[in-house]
Chains A and B, each alone.
Chain A
Amino acid sequence: MIADFRERYERAVNDPDLQPRLLAFQRSWRESRDAQVSRLEQRTERSFDDLRHDFAAVKDGTLERIDDYIAEFRANAEAAGAIVVELTTADEAVEYIAGVCAARGIDLVVKSKSMVSEEIELNHELAQGGITAIETDLGEWLLQLAEQRPSHLVMPAIHQKRQYVAEILGQELGRDFDPDDIPAMVASARQGLRRHYLAAGAGLTGANALVAETGSIMVVTNEGNMRLATSLPDVHFVTAGIEKLIPTWSDAERQLQLLPRSATAQTLSTYTTCITGAQPGKEMHIILLDNGRRSMRDDDTIASALRCIRCGACANVCPSYQVVGGHTFGHIYTGAIGLVNTTFHHGIEDAAGPQGLCVSCGACETVCPVAIPLPNQILSIRRRATESGHVPHWERWLLRAWATPTLFRTAIKLGAVASSIARATNLLRRDHFRLPLPTRLRWRSIPAIPSRSGSQLIRSRQPQPAVAASPATGSEIDLFTQCLAEHLLPSAVDSAARLIEAGGATVHLPPEQHCCGLPAFDAGDWDAARRMARATIDALGRSDRRIVTPATSCVISMKEHWPQLFRDDPQSRRRANDVAERVYDLADWLDGPGRLPDGCLNTSDQHAWAAHRFCQSSNRDDPGARIDLLVERLTGETPLPLKEAEVCCGFGGLTSIAAPEVGKGILDRKLDCVAASGCETLITNNPGCALHLRAGAAAQGASHETLHYADFLAARLPWSS
């Protein structure tokens, strides 16, 4: 049994070793994987993106005609003496294996790593029938000894400490191990497992690919255990999902260009084994499992998740995974892909728990070697989880309130009153409340609500003269102020307006604007999202002027989420598109239609500043994400290098509220990098992130200030005081 999600979450965030270990892993993987990928690109003279899309097309093509390829595979494998069985459910697969074992009098099975066998919880089920299954991959064996599950697709025991490993090995083998002598612990597997290989009646493996043209299986391993498990016993079981089919050996080679480099950052794993048919005098049973895969294939949004080659890369770049690990971030399948495919293999209930942990930063999609649009698929699953009632009530209520402008504004007004009282009574520090927060929230402070909103700041001043001619000189622009920025970061709204005016354009403030719907969309509450989106479309649809906003995330929302929200409502979709087409992120504006000339904000000062690039737009490769280049171009001031500048800051919409430890963990990683950069000012381009980074810095007492880049730039306008 897998513990309840909340319990797994608590266990993970209370393990002091987990985060540093996974952080070190992610960083070193990133470095070696990037080096491997760039060598591959050089060697093939093709980009990673081209290579992965090519192979993705192979997988998609195979899945479209899956039954033909299964038939071809079956014919060839059977001709080579294998028995091929197609099974629909996990239970059928377990029964089949148990049945063959019973008929042959087999009570011991040695296993090489197979995620499908984890998926169907084979070991547990076989044990019920008196059959022992022994894992022979070292990591899997250690997990079995500890009665645990893999927390990573490729590094299954990544969560175990060597002290712990020494303890469980000691118990199993009846002698002491020095935790610092890893080679000795590794060596013990050779002897510890040998007797099982010799006694086993069957060996079980997975398959990294099933090659239709010859009916062969291909398996990659590093330890050599798979070859042993298929050489000693007389029966060989292969458990594989039907999505592992590929047409030819040349496709297998393409898969190998991507798999080991993405998995363990190796050019090739130590053993790439190809087996065709039963060996002389032995039996081979190939179990092709559906278990939800055909439903995935028939689901337009999810089908491409079947391309997955189980490399684990999506976990290796996931900031939330780094904080909680795979026992929490996933179910049996871990990492981003686990948030998607669990729904189909194990049900929405098991998939629902970790959905809120995803910060939607989009890093997973950038490294996935088969280009699965994981972030979008996660959002889709989240919607299903919400619609089937698997979402906390407080979240629903919060979003409903947010979606109702009158309620939202009342809350803001109350907050503003409380803030001014606090200001008068000296209860604020660095514009944040000095409130005794519960321990788990103490890593951030609650920001005071400024006395005037962004729109009020703009209305309270005269329009500013232009600093230079721009392509937008003389034009009229609507400013979308964004709900958060308008009330919590009003200076950024005013600064955005000033920068637009600096290019000689006039700024208008369309009335009745509120929220584009992003928070609700992200949380999977599409009804609330639609309501917010419609109100915004109404507000911005009253003119046909171009629209600029300092809120990068909302631009993505309008351009990408709105079409999804109104997929089945052509009229709304048309109106939504009409607005979305006119929307510009401020950074894109200042580099494009409202381009300010180089150096026009050069004050001859050089500040110590660094830039955190909004992760979501960075990971989509939006040019506007590179605010450091924009700021340098306009001011002539060079930024300080910031490590992991594009890794999420931990805001992630509701994640930092629903899972505060995740928000804190990711924020700490970010603030460590910020501190190491030595900057005095950190700039960023998304209001939510600016607020999150600022609140965290205030709570930590960090010495740098955090600004939206619009504020940093506007402070360099000639008339700013």
Chain B
Amino acid sequence: MSSPDLGQPTPGAPAAQVAPAASPGVALAASDFANDVGARNAREAFGNYIQRLRGGDMGALPAVGGLIVLVIVFASISGGFLSKGNFANLLTQAAPIMLLGMGLVFILLLGEIDLSAGTASGVSAAIMGLALTQGGDLNQALGTPVYVIVLLGMLAAALVAGFYRIWIAVGVIVLGALVMLTSWDQYAIPGIFVAISVGVAIGTLVGTMVAKIGIPSFVVTLALFLGWQGVLLQFLGNGSAIDVRRNDFIFNLENSNFSPAVGWAIWAVSIAAYLGLTFGRSFRRRRAGLTAEPLLVVALRGFTLAAITGVAVYVLNENRGRTVFTKIEGIPKIIPVVLVLLVFFTFILTRTAFGRHLYAVGGNAEAARRAGIDVVRIRVAAFIISGAMTAIAGIALASRLGSIPSDFGGRNTLLFAVAAAVIGGTSLFGGKGKMRDAVIGGLVIAIIPNGLGLIKDIPSSYELMITAGVLLLAASVDALSRKRTSAR
């Protein structure tokens, strides 16, 4: 029932209260929502889908279409593109973009933007990198003044998060700061936790500036885009990159694979869980007399997903070593990480009140406010989640690069991540988007540099121009589809 702490009246039997027996309304109840049980068969479901497309709700279609076009184009130009090795490469190249994009979906859902996510990931990753390489002695690695400022910043962030009663963030920041004080952060897991806590602290502060103080997010994060680059330079001190290859755990994230058996096991468990959940949902809703998808549609979707991922796992489990002496096979370890986070955040967005409120704030902040939602708190929380994902993306990127150079997360990192989310179908106007958008869009975006890199004699200028073009195209689709839905 509705949360008791708010002392609100529980939804009673409104029908009984509002409509006494004599009311004409009751008689209508049965027929009123006659076609409200969703599509009854697959054909109707398909019809509804076409109608949605026409209405401007394109979903993942542009991204999937773009993906297919790009694969065909690159495959026809370069023979190496469709090789097993390149497929694995593509996934590991896409992973950091996807992770950063997943965090950005939360920001974009609000109708805000975070231009600093890329360089902020450098700050989080650098703190972890320094801790790992300097025996966990951040005081030594950063120099006492900087170290103290970092800790004070985290303290401030913890207080702010506490002010908004976002206790998870308080816990993560405080615990992260405590780990910083010890030398445990020379090990990978505590080090990763420290990086995430820094990301959470950064998200808290950025979110407060945007949501509470009211500076446009564009301005705050444009300033911080530069600011974090400066901070990273400060952290690096003499300017040399931090080498994280010596830490096996971190390095293996992007550079080692699960054994084929484990890969198949992951696949089987994921597919079984997916089918169980989607079928279970359809059955349950049907039994309760609610809108439910036709089983055929659920089955088709599940089968397609199983087939595509099955082929991917099969290809990844083949030996892709270049020589007879090296054997490289299996799913890159970062991929299940991406999938777990995808499932987790999809759950947050679609099954929790927080997720619902986030969409409401993005769609109509005033309506959300009048419904009693603490709009500022929701906005800050979104920036906090994005901050955590920023750190995780930074760790993945550090693993892929093997080091944290002074331009880490700069240049086109952020553009790629925003483009990923938007191409996937997340709207720049807020209120519309899904977690999977960042994953599908991330694949599209990663294909461009990957494919171009395989073509000989192609200047690197092309990569930037083509990526920019793709983002503008996706943004146009977004803007046009918005026009279409709002034209009532």
A binds B: no
Q: Which A residues form the contact surface with B (CB < 8 A)?
A: none
